[in-house]
Copies of this chain bind each other. A is one copy, B any other.
Amino acid sequence: MATGRTHRPATRSRGIPEATVARLPLYLRALTALSERSVPTVSSEELAAAAGVNSAKLRKDFSYLGSYGTRGVGYDVEYLVYQISRELGLTQDWPVVIVGIGNLGAALANYGGFASRGFRVAALIDADPAMAGKPVAGIAVQHTDELEQIIADNGVSIGVIATPAGAAQQVCDRLVAAGVTSILNFAPTVLTVPDGVDVRKVDLSIELQILAFHEQRKAGEDAAHDGGRTAPAVRAATVAADRKGPDGDVPAVMPA
């Protein structure tokens, strides 16, 4: 029973499967590159290769958006860029606040890919009074006290949390209370939010641990290629510089 906050399965969103939504930005990026090279059309095979996915998967993904291709030819690059942009809601401007301007927060503020596609850093917020007024990435940092006002004034619905773990839930609560309904969390904590609020997590530590698991497995398998017990310690302590384990590249699944 506890607090009663449990996760829900990831509701399919208006007909478009969640997995497809997660790939649309990938397609969009590849298409944008093609667009900049003035490539007029592209086949599912080519685009799939550029996006690093299966061509059948790509076609099925696009089929959820509608029939935007021409058989025997492929997809019109410009048209598809527009359609996906519209589907992702990138035709409008999304003001974003970043809370917690430490090393990471500052790095995010400076990240160019932000403004590139419909996102605009509306404000940088930090709890340290000493930070207030200091410009980071050309924007003056504001104090946490003004959080609610900033959200309201700018109509912010997307918040980025880059605070220490201890402060994350508290910041999250305030963001949500102020009207934010989508949160990107960089703090290593499980955030609890009411229904209707989306949380996505980015966690360096978890990613590394998953890599370590596979890394260990590769080493273990190679070491276990002898019949049973020919002291394998050999390479164990030395460099594990073997390559080509029997494993492809692995998707990174991150529950919020």
Contacts and interface: CB of A to CB of B under 8 A. Distances in A.
A247 B11 contact: yes
Contacts of A199: 249-250
A13 B211 contact: no
Interface in A163-193: 176, 179-184, 188, 190, 192-193
A216 interface: yes
A206 to B, nearest CB: 4
A49 B196 CA distance: 19
A246 interface: yes
Contacts of A200: 207, 210-211, 250, 252
A230 to B, nearest CB: 18
A111 interface: yes
Q: Would you list the 7 A-B pairs with minimal beta carbon distance, nearest first?
A: A89-B216, A8-B248, A155-B239, A179-B241, A196-B244, A103-B107, A52-B190
A182 B241 contact: no
* Size band of the interface chain A makes with B: 35 or more
A127 interface: no
Interface in A69-126: 87-92, 94-96, 102-104, 106-108, 110-111, 113-114, 116-119
B24 A253 contact: no
A18 interface: yes
A217 B13 contact: yes
B190 A211 contact: no
Given A8-B248, A24-B209, 14 more contacts: A2-B46, A10-B248, A22-B254, A87-B213, A88-B212, A89-B213, A92-B216, A103-B107, A107-B107, A182-B211, A182-B212, A196-B243, A196-B245, A252-B256
Nearest to A208: B119
Nearest to A28: B209
Contact of A7 (B13, B53, B102): B53
A256 B250 contact: yes
